[in-house]
Amino acid sequence: MLYTHISCSYSNALLLFCAICPGSSVCRYLSTIYVFGACSEAETGALDAQRDHVNLEDNVLQQAVTLDVPSYIFGMVGLLDFYPAGPKRNHQKGKRGSDEREFGTQTIMNSVRGLIAAAYLSYPELSEVNETARTLGVNLPPIDEWRTTFPHWKTFGILDQVPASEGGQFILGLNVPVRKGHLLDQIFVMDEAVGGHRCANRLRWLGESVLEIFVSEFIFNEYSDLDAGSARVLAESMLSDTTLAALCVAQALHTFLRGFDHNIMERINRYVQIVQPARNLELVASDFMDRLASQYWSVLVAPVPQVLASVVQAIAGALAASDDFELDSAKEFFRAFMLPFFNAHYPGGMIGANITTELAGYVVSRGCQQFEWALESAEAFTVHVLFHGNIFHSEEGATASAAAELCATNALLRLKRSPTTMAYLCQCGDVEDA
């Protein structure tokens, strides 16, 4: 069971601070976290009420949203910030007011179902699957009837009819045949990646938990006469190379959800240990520099939890291993499928910290507190990086996203190559040379 305990010592101070400064980035971050770990239902309710006031008030993040910053899944230059609403509270008999929490299996099941169902539809040649099924005494429905046979697939927008001759489609319109050997040998060999250690061979890589869900949800529910061994054989026969890619993503999601409580709470506890002294330091600095407190505080001080980083790598790897990989299609897949899925289950949503935020952190950490973006749009979009109103770097792009990413990348490159160039435009006093 997943569980967590968190001290109440910071909760009252947090509530008081959020009541005074509901729009600050500190409150936005911490109030979302403490909805996860609040010590009483009353405190949870109070923090829920604050959530309406703490969306994207942080200046840097607001600018990123305005510029429609490109997808943060494939840039891989920044972090992924995940704001959870928290798993359900687990009330047990005889444990009144327990702080133990657990994820319901439905969240895990939904992600596995959608990925497997879509990948199953992508199988390019179904004759071998049908032959295996007939050997086991099972007649699989025609592909155009799968939607009605497995009604829960509707949740994931699987196509009503996918002609067998075209081999189906991989998750929301992506046609991604995967080279299994390339996927296993080149993509998931990282020990640190979630699910990475499961990719050493076919069965270990799939993970017993995912395979069991596949058998129970997609085989036994429809063909209850099969014994466990036959059901497993049939399930494995349905696993195309593309299915393997989807299952590795599903395994990463499954592992992530199982370990979410422990990992995020470790980061939260470390964060809480520094929040008050850092906040005090920020108040002094903001008063000295005559600027708003907390304007850039989260970029400077707050450690951004990377709780979805390995999941993103798994998704990226599965897509990048395809024979006809296209970046635009992969970005669309993430925007259309994964992002709404997590936002639906975790109302806090996700915010990407990518190259634009990395640039902001680099600039601000060196003492320049008046860093901003400017966007012009005519035939093409032009994005400027400015220090104290002085243009440091500009780039054009076909979209605001492309221009912002290019501008941030090249501006950061210039600054890292020659840090002293910022001093000529920055009026904040001493700017670090390193």
Give pLDDT, residue 255.
47
Sequence spans of domains, the chain: 356-424
Identify the pLDDT of residue 405.
73
The whole-number pLDDT of residue 284 equals 64
pLDDT in tens, 133-153: 677 776 665 555 544 444 443
Which one of 204-213, 250-259, 366-375 scores highest in mean pLDDT? 366-375
Q: Evaluate whether 355 touches 413 at the Cβ level (below 8 Å).
A: no
CA angle at residue 408 from 405 to 409, to 5 degrees?
Answer: 80
Whether residue 186 is predicted with pLDDT greater than 80 in this model: the reply is no
Count of Cβ atoms closer than 10 Å to residue 49 Cβ: 13
Q: Give 273's pLDDT tier (boundaries 50, 70, 90).
A: low
The span from the CA of 70 to the CA of 46, in Å, is 34
Tokens describing residue 355: 């190259």
Closest CA to 293 of 63, 17, 49, 9: 17
pLDDT of 81-109, one tens digit each? 222 222 333 344 444 333 333 333 333 33
**What phi, psi does 130 have (nearest 5°)?**
-65, -35
pLDDT in tens, 285-295: 556 655 554 43
Q: Report d(CA 271, CA 268) in Å as an integer.
A: 5
In whole angstroms, give the CA distance from residue 80 to residue 406: 19
- What CATH number matches the domain at 356-424, 3.30.160.20, 3.40.50.2300, 3.10.105.10, 3.40.50.150? 3.30.160.20
How many whole angstroms from its chain centre is CA 147? 28
pTM above 0.85, yes or no: no
Query: From the CB of residue 125, how many other CB atoms can be counted at a distance below 10 Å?
Result: 10
